Homo-oligomer: A and B are copies of this chain.
Amino acid sequence: MTSPTPARTWRGIHAELTRRINDGVWRPGELVPNEAELAEEFGCARATVNRAMRELAETGRVDRKRKAGTRVALHPSARVVLDIPVIRREVEARGASWHYSLILREEGPAPLALTARLGLAQDAPMLHLACLHYADAQPFLHEDRWINIAAVPGLLDTDFSVENANEWLIRNAPYTGGDIAFSALAAGAELAALLEAAEGAALFTLDRTTWNGEVPITSVRLSYAPGYRMHTRI
C-alpha cells in the first residue's frame, strides 16, 4: 500500500488520520492527540492539522469540542452530499430535450395544513402552480407548488406558462434556509394520469420548503415518474 498523497499536506494528513481510525489505531470514543501534538508529529503547522481534522469532523468521523478535545465518533453515520440540480439541466444531462407545461395557476388561500406549517395567516394570499416537466415526449416529473405572494415581488406579473417556476424562483427569490424530505408515495389517479403511469405506482417524491429569514417563500412537492433514481457517490 503506497501513499500516493504526499504527506505534510492536509490531504495527506487527512488520509493518515482516516487510516488510523479505520485500522483501529484510534478506537471509537477514544480521545485523539490534540492539534499541537499532531502538528509536531507530522512536522507541519497546526493550521494544516486543523484543516484535516475539520474535514473529518464535517463528515462525521470525529467529534470535536473545545477543551474536551477530539474523539473518534462512536456512531459514524454516513454523510452524503446530494446535488439537486435545476430540473431542466437534469433532463438535459440525460441527453433528452426538456420541456415544460403549466397545468394549473390559481391565486387564493392555501390549505390550512400548509399555512399552519409555514406560520402564515390562514387567508394569506398564495399562488398555487402545478406543472409537468418532460424529458423528450415523456413525463419526467410533476411539480406542485405554493408560493407566498407577499414574499416574492414580481410574482404575479410573471407568466409561468412561458417561464418555469423552478428556475424563475432561483433567480428571483433567494432563500436562506429550508427543509427537504424524500419519500415514496403511491400515485393517485390524477397524478398517475399526468405522469402516464399506473395508478398506485411508486413515485419518488421530494418535498421542499424554503424560507428567507423568517419569511416563508415557497413549498413544493416534486413527484418523479416511476423508475427515477437519485444517485450520488460517497
Complex Cα distance A181/B75, Å?
22
A233-B177 in contact (CB<8A): yes
Does A121 make an interface contact (CB < 8 A)?
no
A181-B231 in contact (CB<8A): yes
B84-A81 in contact (CB<8A): no
Q: How extensive is the interface on chain A, given as a class?
A: 35 or more
17 contacts between A and B (CB under 8 A): A23-B174, A60-B83, A75-B85, A75-B86, A77-B84, A78-B180, A79-B81, A79-B83, A80-B84, A80-B180, A179-B231, A179-B233, A182-B182, A183-B229, A184-B184, A184-B202, A202-B203
Report the 7 A-B pairs with minimum CB-CB distance, sorted nearest first: A184-B184, A22-B174, A202-B202, A77-B85, A184-B202, A184-B204, A78-B84
